[in-house]
Structure 1
Amino acid sequence: MNLFHPSAFRTVFYAVPRMPIALLLMLGLAMSGCQTTTGEPQSTDSTASPPASEPEVVVVRDLTMGDRACYMEVEDAQGQRSGEEASFELCEQSQLIGQRVRLTRVPTSILAMSCQGDPECVESDTVNLITAAEVVP
Structure 2
Amino acid sequence: MSFEDLQKIYQFVDHSHKDEYWQQMFTNSESTKSSWHHKGNPAIKNSDEFPACDYYLKDNMYYIDIELPSQKPVDVTLTINKHILSIEGSYQTLLNGCTYFIKERQNKSFQKLISIPEYIGEQHIKKQWKDGLLRISFLAK
Q: Shorter-normalised TM-score: what interval?
A: under 0.3
Structure with max Cα Rg: 1
RCO higher in structure (CA 8 A, sep ≥6) = 2
